[in-house]
Amino acid sequence: MLLHIPKVLTQEEVGIMRERLARSGWTDGRATVGAQGAQVKRNRQLPENAPEARELAAMVQAALARNPLFFAAALPVRSMPPLFNRYGVGEHYGDHVDGAVRVLPGGAGMLRTDVSSTLFLSSPEDYDGGELVVQDTYGEHEVKLDAGDLILYPSTSVHRVEPVTRGERICSFFWTQSMVRDDARRAMLFELDRTIESLRSRVGDCPETVALTAHYHNLLRQWAET
C-alpha cells in the first residue's frame, strides 16, 4: 500500500526543522547502509547521535502520535527514531530495498522493517529532480510532496531517489514494525477502517457499523503480532 498522508507537520514545525538543519553538520549517507546500498547511495545524512537529530526526531514522533491516519495505515508496534537526509545537485539513491531488520539505538533490540516512510521537508518548488520512485505490481510511482507531507509504502518495495538537478531535497525517513507484517492484510484493514469511519460520519453508530467494527477487530486480533 502506497499512501500519501498530508500535513503531518505544520508549516511552523517545518520552518523550525529547516532552520535547525541549516546549522547542522552532515556526513556521507553511505555510512548507514550495507554493501549493496553503498554502491548506489550518494547523499548526506545527519548523524544519528547529533543533539539536533534527537531533538528533531522527537518532533516527528510527536507529530505521528497525533496523526490517526498514520496509525490506521501502519498499525505500529514500534518505529526507528526518524533520520534526516539531504540531496544536492547530482546526488541520488539508486534502486534498492531497505534492509529487513534494523538495530534499535541504545541496545533496545531489533526492529523488523515492514513500513517505510519519507517525510518531506523541502517544498517541490525548492528543487528539480529528486523524486522518490516506488515500484510495485502496478509499475513505478513518482512521489514529490509538499513540505510537511508524508509518503508511506511497504519496506519490501524496490525504490530510488532520482538525481537532484537544482536546489536541495531535505527529508526525514524512518521504518516501522507493524502489528500486521503482510502488506495486503494491512491494506485490507486500512480500507475497512476508512469505510467504517465514513459510514459512522454519515449515519452514526448503528447495527451495521457495529458489525463492521467487530469484523475489523476480529481480523486484527487474528493477524496481529506484538
Burial class of residue 221 (count of CB atoms within 10 Å of its CB; 0-12, 13-18, 19+)? exposed
What's this model's pTM, rounded to 2 decimal places? Answer: 0.94
Q: Report pLDDT for 215.
A: 97
- Give the tens place of pLDDT for each residue, 73-92: 999 999 999 999 999 999 99
Domain boundaries, the chain: 3-178, 183-223
d(CA 226, CA 221): 11
Residue in the structure block whose three cell numbers are 509504502: 153
Kindly state the average pLDDT of the residues 139-163: 98
Q: Identify whether the C-beta of residue 79 lies closer than 8 Å to the C-beta of residue 177.
A: yes
Fold of 3-178: Jelly Rolls (2.60.120)
Q: Is the pLDDT of residue 36 over 80?
A: no
d(CA 77, CA 27): 30
